[in-house]
Amino acid sequence: METGRCLEVNNLRTWFHTPEGVVKAVDGVSFHIEEGETLALVGESGCGKTITSLSLLRLLPETAELKADRILLNGRDVTQIDKTEARLLRGSQISMIFQEPMTSLNPVYRIEKQLGEVFRLHHPGISKEEVESRSVEMLRKVGVPNPKERLKAYPHQLSGGLRQRVMIAISLASNPRLVIADEPTTALDVTIQAQILDLLKQLQKDMNMSVLLITHDFGVVSQIARRVAVMYAGKIVEEGPMEDVFAEPWHPYTKLLILSIPGIKVTRGKRLESIKGTVPNPLRFPEGCRFAPRCPYATEACRKTEPPVYEEGGRRVSCFLFKRDTVSD
């Protein structure tokens, strides 16, 4: 493993065995995140993004089969550890910020108990006063006004934006090296979304954490990520530095995702509202390129053979068009 690499995922496959057959939710995914870097994993819902992150956290249901050549988190292979070690790893080295804080915050406990628990867990024997002062400090860090009073509040007494800030405080209280933020702003209105993204960016810098941002929204990606990996039907179809991918997407799916951001215009004044069709059923992925049924550039070859991964200049793409030069309008 290279120095400075926080996470390295090699050939991750997360399959579910169901009475109808094998669901290949994640099917050969590889990526890495440098220390202090934000990587966005982007794609429509049902592409396998969340299952990828739950695999890293080892939070999969019993029906799941997880295989990987390796998943190194700060040099430790998380595929080789047992459930107890995995639990210890969560919260100490890796933690998660969920989309809807109301479902991850416990409605019957005050914020002080839920946040304080993290400090008590990671610092056994810590005094009550110390827990309180660390909790106040953490809430202040994530921009919660009047933190001392807010500690006494129940989740339902806070606004959506404040709840998400509290959730972020809980996720970061253990000082994890990697934070997975799964659609952290989707449930919030646009103004609050921007504030939360700014906050995440600031915290990431201050605490030098690595962030894996899971999102369906390329608009969010452009605001926060340094690199982006685009996922479709269980595979990563394109990966590269955010600016490069944004300026010149190589994969037709990436291009369509970018064009579906409100306000983005295609050359010649045309605008694509959304991507036609739906993500294929993982029980019945099409043969060849999985994007072929929705791809405006699909050929017979695409429908028969899976495209290889082409690499160039720190970017990679899985599409036959790459050989035929860049995608044109």
- Tell me which residues touch ligand SF4 (CB under 6 A): 251-252, 289, 291-292, 295, 297-298, 302, 307, 319-321
What phi, psi does 254 have (nearest 5°)? -60, -45
Q: Kindly state the smallest distance separating residue 255's Cβ from ligand SF4, in Å.
A: 10
182 neighbors 97 (Cβ within 8 angstroms): yes
Q: Kindly state the smallest distance separating residue 252's Cβ from ligand SF4, in Å.
A: 5
Pick 31 or 291: Cβ nearer ligand SF4:
291
Pick 44 or 69: Cβ nearer ligand SF4:
44
Q: Kindly state the smallest distance separating residue 161's Cβ from ligand SF4, in Å.
A: 38
Pick 264 or 309: Cβ nearer ligand SF4:
309
d(CA 72, CA 8): 5
Pick 88 or 266: Cβ nearer ligand SF4:
266
Amino acid at 83: K
Pick 15 or 322: Cβ nearer ligand SF4:
322
Pick 129 or 300: Cβ nearer ligand SF4:
300
| Secondary structure class of 272 (helix, strand, coil) | coil
105 neighbors 155 (Cβ within 8 angstroms): yes
Query: What are all long-range contacts of 13-19, with beta carbons under 8 Å and residues at least 24 apart?
Result: 13/65, 13/66, 13/67, 13/68, 14/48, 14/51, 14/52, 14/55, 14/60, 14/64, 14/65, 14/66, 14/67, 15/64, 15/65, 15/67, 16/61, 16/63, 16/64, 16/65, 17/63, 17/65, 18/63, 18/283
Q: Kindly state the smallest distance separating residue 308's Cβ from ligand SF4, in Å.
A: 10
What tokens does 27 get? 């099917």
Looking at residue 322, what DSSP letter applies? Answer: G
Closest C-alpha among 183, 178, 163 to residue 99: 183
Q: Kindly state the smallest distance separating residue 285's Cβ from ligand SF4, in Å.
A: 13
Q: Kindly state the smallest distance separating residue 290's Cβ from ligand SF4, in Å.
A: 8
